[in-house]
Amino acid sequence: MGEEPAKPIELSIWIAARPETVFAFLIDPQKLVQWLGVAADLEPRRGGSFRVDMNGRDVVRGHYLDVSPPSRVVFTWGWESGEGRIAAGSTTVEITLAPSDSGTLLRLQHSGLPAPDREAHARGWQHYAERLKARAEGRDPGPDAFAAPEHRHTNPDS
């Protein structure tokens, strides 16, 4: 498509849990779906597959570039269907975890997104970071409005 990638999404959130606890929610499929998506098939090792069914229809697919317990996970990200501008594995998500004030500082960077998709993904990552925080702290984040089948990953204006 030739679009220039947007500035990377960057967010930070403090979680009242140890990095080891938070890390498990990034690589264990049963724990990941407690905050992101409805099903996951993960092979958390360099070159392993990363596949998350977000809502029973839209599937994110990529592969792991780095898995360094309990401090760093990097994987590629895109839509398996090939719809829209973000093909499977065409963007990169890096999550780092650092001990901080008896908890964990999570930093997320999502790079390579086309500019028109940046805002929706920034909202999505903020939403899911809050859900991850709740789950890692032992709280129920409640139903995921973004996992409803009617919530589509595509921009209705595109």
CB 25, CB 119: distance < 8 Å: no
Q: Residue ranges per domain, the chain?
A: 9-138
The set of residues, in sequence order, having a beta carbon less than 8 Å from that of 99 and lying 6+ positions away, is 18, 19, 105
CA distance linking residue 65 with residue 75, whole number of Å: 5
Higher pLDDT, residue 147 or 90:
90
37 with 153: CB under 8 angstroms? no
Q: How far is CA 92 from CA 11, 22, 63, 136, in A?
A: 14, 20, 10, 23
What secondary structure letter does DSSP report for 157? Answer: T
Task: Note the pLDDT tens digit of each residue in 74-107.
Answer: 999 999 986 678 999 999 999 999 999 999 999 9
Q: Distance (Å, rounded) from C-alpha 41 to C-alpha 27?
A: 10
pLDDT on residue 6: 84
Structure tokens at 75: 């994987």
Classify 9-138 by CATH class. Answer: alpha beta
Residue 153 pLDDT class (50, 70, 90 cuts): low
DSSP 5: B
Task: For 28-50, write each residue's pLDDT tens digit.
Answer: 999 999 999 999 999 999 999 99
pTM (2 decimals)? 0.91
The SS3 call for residue 35 is: coil
